[in-house]
DNA sequence: CGCATCCCATACATTCGCGTATCGAACGAA
DNA sequence: TTCGTTCGATACGCGAATGTATGGGATGCG
């Protein structure tokens, strides 16, 4: 039921890939503006510069496109995160605080994407197969994020006690604070509170095992 | 533009109030099942046991009903919370840990309501006037919640340093962990992680000012 | 009980969105 | 270039949802 096995492995030509991609990109914009439920095939096509013929030649339903789009974008975000973490991994001397900020910068708070995700989440709560998709993604996030977080904390003389607890906490805090930031886009204080909450959480889920732990996270 | 001033203060008869309420109740169910965007006036009316005539006699659009329903339900949840906190306030001897659990029980994780809220949030991000409605509600939550949290912590010999920071953190953690609980309804571990995260946050945002603080939150 | 008012059901016209079928044009391979 | 294949535009029919206008039945009040 996943997007990778919807159809026979047909030859994907250049054109096909391009229009498909343009439809996916247009869909993100339209869904963000109108909401997925209120969006129509026509709107997506018009935005992408095609007609409905192109759509039905590439997808069978809006739901299918929604899933494909979400998987692509969330995969891309995960890749970005991975890259940022890899780049960070090289710098052995980075402080935990700097690492935190770097990670937060690597996962930008994009409001179009948030709206889409919120609806996708609600949609997934109604659809068991989508739920599995989301669960798999969350697991991937944990696998990507935790090793570096643990490494950064280790350099600060801290050890993570509850690995999965920390992973879930980070994701929850990210989701929860993202809304707040988007609701008050111009309020810098909200962003600072977000960062501080992250600091507290990282701190709470790790314990110092070396007394001269320089660079502790909290004040 | 709020619901309280949408129309002239017409005389509200018994019948009108009843059908209006039934429509609101039906709307919650339908929106939860189908998603707000995919819901139709017909579906709501059928579920409530009326026809479209009843609907257009009480509301002008699905959007208006959505707002009215959300305000009513979120207000009710806030009242529940207030009641639970009042009842808790009487018991002077309650432990902070018990208080936390009581509050968490007072704000049940209702998946129908969560789905609706998720869509409403996404909707509010597109609509400035709805955004103000949500902001007002968040403020009301803080005003209700913080006094008791501070009182409970004071009894445990702890003082809250950053009041608003804690408020936002609690809401963010609630929102973020609710999804996780709903995604894996049968996994008790998720619920425990949620509770632990709350403990950590409450702890991180408060500091002990009495050394013999019995009943500290963390182990 | 009788009356005036209000509220909801019904019917209607209209618009909108969907999915399909078909055809011309763009593309890729020789 | 030429030919076969693929892709996307156009046109069509259909069903569904909307909003309104109107009428009948319920409700409240004397």
Report the greatest alpha carbon distance in chain A.
Answer: 67
CA–centroid distance for A130 within its chain: 16
What integer pLDDT is reported at residue B152 of this predicted model? 87
DSSP letter for B214, please. T
**Would the pLDDT of A204 be above 70?**
yes
Q: pLDDT confidence of A54, banded at 50, 70, 90?
A: very high
- Digitized pLDDT (tens) for each residue of chain B, 219 residues in all: 444 444 445 678 999 999 999 999 999 999 999 999 999 999 999 999 999 999 999 999 999 999 999 999 999 999 999 998 888 776 666 677 888 888 898 899 999 999 999 999 999 999 999 999 999 999 999 999 999 889 888 888 899 999 999 999 999 999 999 999 999 999 999 999 999 999 999 999 999 986 554 444 444
Give B124-161 pLDDT, tens digit per residue.
999 999 999 999 999 999 999 999 889 888 888 899 99
Q: Which nucleotides of D are covered by protein (CB under 7 A)?
A: 6-11, 16-22, 26-28
Give A2-30 pLDDT, tens digit per residue.
444 443 445 789 899 999 999 999 999 99
What CA–CA distance (Å, rounded) separates A136 from A123?
16
What CA–CA distance (Å, rounded) separates A93 from B124?
43
Nearest CA to CA, how far is B30 from chain A (Å)?
12
Which residue of chain B has the CA closest to A192? B165
What integer pLDDT is reported at residue B6 of this predicted model? 40
What integer pLDDT is reported at residue A186 of this predicted model? 96
Pick from B122, B138, B200 the residue to mutate for testing the A interface (most A CBs within 10 Å). B122
What integer pLDDT is reported at residue A210 of this predicted model? 63
What integer pLDDT is reported at residue A95 of this predicted model? 76
What integer pLDDT is reported at residue A156 of this predicted model? 86
What integer pLDDT is reported at residue B169 of this predicted model? 98
What integer pLDDT is reported at residue B3 of this predicted model? 41
Q: Which residue has the higher pLDDT, A109 or A152?
A: A109
B164 touches strand D (CB under 7 A): no
Q: Which residues of B touch A218 (CB under 8 A)?
A: 204
Q: pLDDT confidence of A197, banded at 50, 70, 90?
A: very high
CA–centroid distance for A181 within its chain: 16
Q: What proportions of chain B, in percent to the nearest 5, are helix, strand and coil?
A: 75, 5, 25
What integer pLDDT is reported at residue B143 of this predicted model? 96
Specify the CATH architecture of the domain A10-60. Orthogonal Bundle (1.10)
What integer pLDDT is reported at residue B178 of this predicted model? 98
Contact call for B122 and A115, based on CB within 8 A: yes
Q: Which residues of B touch A197 (CB under 8 A)?
A: 165, 168-169, 172, 201
- Phi then psi for B49, rounded to 5 degrees? 85, 30
Q: pLDDT confidence of A93, banded at 50, 70, 90?
A: low
DSSP string, chain A: --GGGSS------HHHHHHHHHHHHHHHHHHHHH-TTT--HHHHHHHHT--HHHHHHH-S-HHHHHHHHHHHHHHHHHHHHHHHHHHHHH-TT--HHHHHHHHHHHS---HHHHHHHHHHHHHHHH-HHHHHHHHHHHHHHHHHHHHHHHHHHHHTTEEES-HHHHHHHHHHHHHHHHHHHHHSTT-HHHHHHHHHHHHHHHHHTEEE-STT-TT-S--
Q: pLDDT confidence of A91, banded at 50, 70, 90?
A: low
Q: For the purposes of burial, counting CB atoms within 10 Å of the CB of B153, is it exposed (0-12), middle (13-18) or buried (19 or more)?
A: buried
Looking up tokens 């639970």 gives B84
What integer pLDDT is reported at residue B34 of this predicted model? 97
Q: Where are the domains of chain B?
A: 10-60, 62-208
Q: If one looks up domain A62-208 in CATH, what number appears? A: 1.10.357.10
Distance from residue A15's CA to nucleotide D2's C1', rounded to whole Å: 21
Which residue of chain B has the CA closest to A114? B122
Give A129-143 pLDDT, tens digit per residue.
999 999 999 999 999
Which residue of chain A has the CA closest to B170? A176
What's the per-residue H, E or C state across B154-183?
Answer: HHCCEEECCHHHHHHHHHHHHHHHHHHHHH
């Amino acid at each position: 039921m996943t997007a990778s096995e919807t159809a026979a492995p047909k030859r994907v030509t250049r054109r096909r890939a391009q229009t498909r991609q343009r439809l996916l990109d247009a869909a993100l914009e339209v869904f963000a503006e109108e909401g997925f439920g209120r969006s129509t095939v026509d709107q997506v096509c018009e935005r992408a510069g095609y007609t409905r013929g192109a759509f039905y030649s590439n997808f069978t339903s809006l739901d299918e496109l929604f899933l494909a789009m979400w998987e692509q974008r969330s995969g891309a975000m995960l890749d970005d995160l991975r890259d940022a973490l890899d780049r960070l991994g090289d710098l052995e001397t980075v402080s935990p605080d700097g690492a935190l900020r770097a990670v937060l910068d690597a996962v930008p708070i994009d409001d179009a994407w948030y709206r889409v995700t919120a609806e996708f989440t609600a949609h997934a709560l109604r659809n068991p197969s989508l739920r599995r998709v989301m669960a798999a993604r969350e697991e991937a996030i944990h696998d990507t994020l935790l090793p570096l977080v643990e490494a950064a904390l280790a350099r600060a003389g801290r050890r993570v006690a509850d690995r999965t607890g920390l992973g879930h906490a980070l994701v929850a805090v990210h989701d929860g604070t993202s809304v707040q930031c988007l609701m008050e886009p111009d309020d810098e204080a909200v962003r600072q509170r977000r960062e501080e909450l992250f600091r507290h959480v990282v701190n709470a889920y790790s314990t110092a095992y070396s007394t001269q732990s320089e660079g502790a996270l909290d004040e």
